[in-house]
Amino acid sequence: MTASPEKAAKKAARQSIRLRGDDLRTAMIDAAERIIAEEGLKALTARRVAADVGVAIGTTYNVFENLFALAAEVNSRTLAVLASDIAEINPAGLNTHDVLMAFAECYMHFVENNRNRWLAVFEVEMPDMAASVPNQHFIDQLFGFLEQVISRHNPAIDADIARRSARGLWAAMHGLLMLSESNRLKVVGLQTIRPTIEHLVTCHLSGLDAAAANRGR
């Protein structure tokens, strides 16, 4: 038997009373994370979150200014997990090529196991009035790992070159992963991305070494 709207509203109100402050906020982020992981960002609505938590739909906007703010919290969790995985890479005894490939393998594995959450990081549209990029510290952490690896590769590589190289290399890897996850690899004549990423890493390091040698002349 379906509950009347009045009873449903009272139930939601009681649930809202039980969940207050940080508990309610966490419950909503948990719900949004489940929705995104299972169905993708497009399935995330205030109504779905409210229904999952058991509160009135308006409560969602009492806790979060908009869905962008809620999705940004989910993305924060996603990026934190990715950053933690990357931080576990041990470069001891590895040359630069192998460390960069370990990064690529870690990134590919994460995407394979967290496809919808990963896509949401890049699908969320920032409001025009946003003061800063959400979760920038996690993004800087990922780039920082690559910058350190590239800087150690050759003493002639300065901080600015390492910074640009890290972002360019990541962007190339990311682009290949986006093609793979959208089933468009065949459009560019590829069957799998790992050999292409390895070729990319090899050529990138060769280019850095050649440029450093030219500057040293």
pLDDT tens digits for 51-104? 999 999 999 999 999 999 999 999 999 999 999 999 999 999 999 999 999 999
Contact criterion met (CB below 8 Å) for 87 and 143: no
* Predicted confidence band of residue 169 (pLDDT cuts 50, 70, 90): very high
Q: What is the pTM of this model?
A: 0.82
pLDDT digits (tens, 9 = 90+) for 116-135: 999 999 998 766 555 566 68
In which band, very low, low, confident or very high, does the pLDDT at 13 lie, cut at 50, 70 and 90? very low
d(CA 49, CA 56): 10
Sign of CA dihedral 75, 78, 82, 85: positive
CATH superfamily name and code, 72-215 = Tetracycline Repressor, domain 2 (1.10.357.10)
> Three-state SS for 191?
coil
Q: How is the chain split into domains, by residue range?
A: 1-64, 72-215
